[in-house]
């Protein structure tokens, strides 16, 4: 009976030890190493394998145009961020804030949309859309043009 209880206790502690190790509580203990290169065991990554290709941008469209701005939509083949670089044709450009950026809490998006406000009426603007995936690979579209209507 004593042997049975001892085995039961060790099995229970082993299960707890495995759980604690996989949760990262025991990873800092130097004697918990394995492999010939003495690396620490790791559980499967929540971010998945490293991406080696930048997102492909497709179907860039102006979805709305007003006297003081426009909205642009596009798609990508990979979850990624949304950003637009824009400015009057032939002038310096500005960039919108990055939205939908992939992170530990967000996967990014494949359907993108950004609206730009505060522009001048009756003006032709140039713009490029920018998408970056979780591994930092970025794609920038060719330059496109849109005109805001007169007031």
Please tell me whether the overall predicted TM-score, pTM, comes out greater than 0.75 for this model.
Answer: no
Q: Which of 85, 70, 63 is nearest to 129 (CA)?
A: 85
- Cβ-count burial of 144 within 10 angstroms (0-12 exposed, 13-18 middle, 19+ buried)? middle
Higher-confidence position of 3 and 42:
3
* Mean pLDDT, residues 110-128: 94
* Mean pLDDT, residues 45-61: 81
Q: Show me where the domains of the chain are located.
A: 1-43, 57-147
Higher-confidence position of 8 and 119:
119
Report the percent of the chain where pLDDT is more than 70.
67
Higher-confidence position of 42 and 84:
84
Superfamily of domain 57-147 in the CATH hierarchy: Immunoglobulins (2.60.40.10)
pLDDT of 19 above 90 = no
* Mean pLDDT, residues 85-108: 86
Give the pLDDT of residue 132.
Answer: 94
* Mean pLDDT, residues 61-78: 94
């Amino acid at each position: 009976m004593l042997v049975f209880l001892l085995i039961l206790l060790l099995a229970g502690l082993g299960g707890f030890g495995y759980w604690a190790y996989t949760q990262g509580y025991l990873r800092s203990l130097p004697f918990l190493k394995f492999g010939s290169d003495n690396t620490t065991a790791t559980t499967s990554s929540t971010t998945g394998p490293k991406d080696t290709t930048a997102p492909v941008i497709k179907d860039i469209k102006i979805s709305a145009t007003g006297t003081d701005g426009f909205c642009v939509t596009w798609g990508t083949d990979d979850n990624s961020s949304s950003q637009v670089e824009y400015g009057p044709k032939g002038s310096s450009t500005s960039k919108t804030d990055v939205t939908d950026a992939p992170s530990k809490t967000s996967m990014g998006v494949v359907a993108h949309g950004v609206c730009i406000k505060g522009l001048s009426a009756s003006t032709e603007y140039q713009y490029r859309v920018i998408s970056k995936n979780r591994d930092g690979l970025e794609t920038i579209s060719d330059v496109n043009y849109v005109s805001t209507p007169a007031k």
